[in-house]
Amino acid sequence: MKCASCGCELPKGSGFCFQCGAKQPGYRFPKKLAIGAAAFLLAVGGACVVGALLMGNHKYVAYLKDGGVNQADLEHQRKKTVKYSGDYGEKDNNPDAYVKVEYSGDGKYIFYPTEVTRESDTVYPEYCLNMQKVGKEDDPIKLDNSVWRYYVLEQDKVLYIKSGNNTLYINDKKGNKEKIASHVEDYHIDKDEKNIVWIESEDGVYAIYQQDLALKREKKALATNVSFYDISENLKQIAVVEEDTLYVIKNFDDKKKIASNVSGIVSNSEQTGSICYIKVPDRVLTGADIVEDDCLESDANIQEPYYDSYIVQRAEKNEFTGRYERVESFDQDAYDQAWEQYEAKENRNEMREGLKELEFGAYMKELYCFRNGKEELVEEFYAERVYDYGTEAKKDGVFAFNRYRMEEVPQIKMSEIESFSDLADLYIQNLNNVKETCIYTEEEVITLAENLEYAVALEPEKKIGYGLKAETSEKEATRTYTLMSFQIGEGSDGLCKTVAEDMDSIQMFIDGKIYYLADVNESAGELYCNEEHIDSDVFVGSLENVKDGVAYAVDYDSNKGRATLKFYNGKEDRTIADDVYAYHVFDEKNIAVLVDYSLDRKEGDLKYYSGKDKLLEIDENVTAIFGGTVFYY
């Protein structure tokens, strides 16, 4: 696919552009993502799906067994396990983030899939969505079929999208459904669950709509013909670009124009009301601006070589008469050298003409911020976004970006280039030599002492940020990363502190703590938290955050798909269970594990850790845990 903003090539399904940072309207954002996304630099890890409840005295775990959705009440061990009505369908032992089981907020209802199918030409599985009172084995309320995404609301209502025309519905516990819209690519709900904003896509044209979830008012078109957009977390502020014009929509009122010639949205802060964005300036940087013609004077003296000019006369001894005679010969070497110089001159003449038309506009960008009702220029030469790692890397209008010190970019000598490709390579090299990473806050722009490739986390309230510096070894064809920290806020000197060298994989950032792996060998490495060593041989992507700490796996056996599950509470680590294939953590003393799993039979034993050494038996011949992290590599 191509970026809707800058047009660069992207992997199909990309949520944002890696070049300009623009959000891609056609991307389907899951409400809860796979835990495998936590594996940052190494694309390995576990897959997480939703389907467990811990609320008051309700500790339910849903699991797949005998082709159906089952449930155990962990709080009441003597209660019989429940098998809900309906055939699960697809024989898949690892339901993904879209094939999920959820419970209502009060724990009275379960929502679960049956008749799961996955077509070869579709990304997401489809299924029949069912609703049932918890613990009842009767026939459920079949809410709808061909569902690929759903979200349970507090009032025991459910939003879902059906495949085909991507039709968005809302349904209640009696099975009464109402259509909201078709061709829906994505939707967002405010925290009070009173409003919904969704994005429609038809024939390559995107539009954004809003409606109250009670459906008492007609839907409102907030923006049409949208190139890209940014919707704040609680929907109070929406920034959209229609063609090249940026608008802001506050509290679902009519849109207001902010600026023209906009090519990307960088930040949209509901808290401060600010919007930062990229504009392309009217002036154009051409090849003639970046090239010093050091050959112009010498080229004026180079003429087209003529054959006769290279016929020379010399004295040559006649071998018969023994007398010297004047003979003519052709100096081929000099003629070839002259033609080479002439052709090089002609090539430069062609480049001289072409340089006037060759534009380097991609490097001429301006960073603006709209706040307090005014547009202001932040940086004249905005280079590119520092790649964000998750939502923590862009908070409350604070973000990282790279810029070039344009006044220090040297001109390239005409004698150093033979083609336009040489010019581009040399110019990019010169730009990278004067590139610097900056942190934008609404008070100031902080220039860091190190160039960062990734912004890991920015915490304005704690006045600290984290990022990754990349170093490439061309000789060894390797790339290494250093995790660095820096101060944010008034008085910051821009200095960066090394947190960890040869850092392989960011695993998690939560509550100001960064969990990362170093010295990774294939699928496991040394686990650290804020420079403190936690454990060794930790499996990549296995970390799961819970209230009291993190769960993770060690000693992964790829042949069996099993590992030892451990828990770290911030002070010490302890072993939960061995030979674990999948698990779900409710809290430090409530963990469901699937152990002794057979990859051939796709079955194992479901057990329960309740804070004691001995695991409690729940069920056997279990295929998968909904809401569990599955180890794979």
Q: By three-state DSSP, how is residue 585 classified?
A: strand
Least confident of 99-103, 118-122, 394-398: 118-122
Q: Which of 39-43, 211-215, 309-313, 453-457 has the least mean pLDDT?
A: 39-43
Q: Is the pLDDT of residue 5 over 50?
A: no
At 55, the pLDDT band (50, 70, 90 cuts) reads very low
Q: How far is CA 37 from the centre of its chain?
A: 9
Q: How far apart are CA 204 and CA 2, in angstroms?
A: 12
pLDDT for 501-558, tens place per residue?
A: 878 778 888 877 889 998 888 889 999 998 899 999 999 888 888 877 899 999 999 8
Per-residue pLDDT averaged across 147-153, rounded?
A: 93
Q: What is the pLDDT of residue 585?
A: 87
Strand 291-292 and strand 412-413: the pairing is parallel
Q: What DSSP character marks residue 432?
A: H
- pLDDT tens, position by position, 391-415: 667 777 889 988 888 888 899 999 9
- Report pLDDT for 30: 26
Q: Residue 225's pLDDT is what?
A: 92
Q: Which amino acid is at 507?
A: Q
Tokens 């790279």 -> residue: 402
**Are the beta carbons of 148 and 126 closer than 8 angstroms?**
yes
Task: Return the pLDDT at 325.
Answer: 83
Only one residue has tokens 């990229």, namely: 278
Residue 562: the pLDDT is 93
Query: Residue 533's pLDDT is what?
Result: 93
Q: Can you tell me the distance from the alpha carbon of 593 to that of 629, in angstroms, rounded to the nearest whole number? A: 10
CA distance 447 to 67: 58
Cα–Cα distance list, 211 to 31, 125, 222 (Å): 19, 28, 10
Structural element, H or E, at residue 376: strand 374-379
Tell me the three state secondary structure of residue 95: coil
Confidence band of 20 (pLDDT split at 50, 70, 90): very low
Confidence tier at 58 by pLDDT (50, 70, 90): low
Give the per-residue pLDDT at 361. Answer: 63
Residues 216-235 have a mean pLDDT of: 93
Indicate the SS3 state at residue 541.
coil
**pLDDT above 90 (res 593):** yes
Q: Tell me, what's the pLDDT at 234?
A: 92
| 267 or 49, greater pLDDT | 267
Report the distance separating Cα 344 and Cα 336, nearest Å. 12
Q: Tell me what percent of the residues of the chain surpass a pLDDT of 90.
A: 46
DSSP 606-624: EEEE-SSSSPEEEEEEE-E
Task: Using alpha carbons, select from 266, 626, 615 the residue that is nearest to residue 440.
Answer: 266
pLDDT > 70: what percent of the chain?
Answer: 87
Nearest to 126 by CA among 145, 105, 150, 153: 145
pLDDT in the model for residue 168: 97
Residue 524 token pair: 């496991």
Q: Does 209 score more than 50 pLDDT?
A: yes
- Alpha-carbon distances, residue 500 vs 126, 269, 476, 533, 535 (angstroms): 43, 31, 21, 11, 15
Give CA–CA dist 482/503, Å, rounded. Answer: 6
Looking at the DSSP assignment, which residues form a beta bridge with residue 629? 48, 583
Looking up tokens 């003519």 gives: 328
Q: Indicate if the pLDDT at residue 29 is higher than 90.
A: no
pLDDT band at 590 (very low <50, low <70, confident <90, very high): confident
Rounded to whole angstroms, the Cα distance separating 46 from 582 reads 9
Residue 357: band (very low, low, confident or very high) from pLDDT cuts 50, 70, 90: confident
How sure is the predictor about 337, in pLDDT bands with cuts at 50, 70 and 90? Answer: very high
**What is the average per-residue pLDDT within 431-435?**
88
What's the pLDDT band for 94 if we cut at 50, 70, 90? low
Strand-by-strand arrangement of the 256-259 sheet: 184-189, 195-202, 205-212, 220-231, 237-242, 245-250, 256-259
> Given this model, what pLDDT does residue 220 score?
96
Closest CA to 3 of 265, 375, 357, 316: 265
Locus of tokens 């704040």? 232
- Contacts for 547 with CB less than 8 Å, ≥ 6 apart: 587, 588
Residues 6+ apart with CB under 8 A from 478: 472
SS3 content of the chain, % helix, strand, coil (to 5): 10, 50, 40
Rounded distance, CA 462 to CA 353, Å?
55
Q: How far apart are CA 465 and CA 104, in angstroms?
A: 37
Q: Are 370 and 275 in contact (CB under 8 A)?
A: yes
CB 228 within 8 A of CB 220: no
> How many residues in total does the chain contain?
633
Residue-wise pLDDT tens digits, 555-582:
999 899 999 999 998 889 999 999 999 9
The phi, psi pair for 499, rounded to 5°, reads -95, -45
The pLDDT value recorded for residue 49 is 39
Look at residue 14 in the predicted model and tell me its pLDDT.
44
626 touches 95 (CB < 8 A) = yes
Higher pLDDT pick, 501 / 242 = 242
The per-residue pLDDT of the chain, averaged, comes to 84
The stretch 71-92 carries a mean pLDDT of 85
Strands (E), 182-292: 184-189, 195-202, 205-212, 220-231, 237-242, 245-250, 256-259, 262-268, 275-279, 291-292
* Residue 82, beta-bridge partner list: 71
**Whole-angstrom distance, CA of residue 213 vs CA of residue 153:** 10
Provide the terminal-to-terminal Cα distance of the chain, rounded to the nearest Å.
28
The residue among 14, 184, 61 whose CA lies nearest residue 624 is 61
Angstrom distance (rounded) from CA 310 to CA 314: 13
pLDDT of residue 215: 93
What pLDDT digit, counting tens, does each position of 162-197 carry? 998 999 999 987 878 999 999 999 999 999 999 999
Question: Which residue bears the tokens 């290494």?
Answer: 480
pLDDT (0 to 100) of residue 40: 31
Look at residue 580 in the predicted model and tell me its pLDDT: 95
| Cβ atoms 592, 607 nearer than 8 A | yes
- Are residues 618 and 606 in contact, defined by beta-carbon separation less than 8 angstroms? yes
**DSSP string covering 400-451:** EEEEE-GGG-PPEEGGG-SSHHHHHHHHHHHHHHTEEEEEE-SS-EEEPSS-
250-307 pLDDT, tens digit per residue, is 999 999 999 999 988 999 999 889 999 998 887 778 888 889 999 999 999 999 999 8
Nearest alpha-carbon partner for 506 in 451, 440, 567, 455: 455
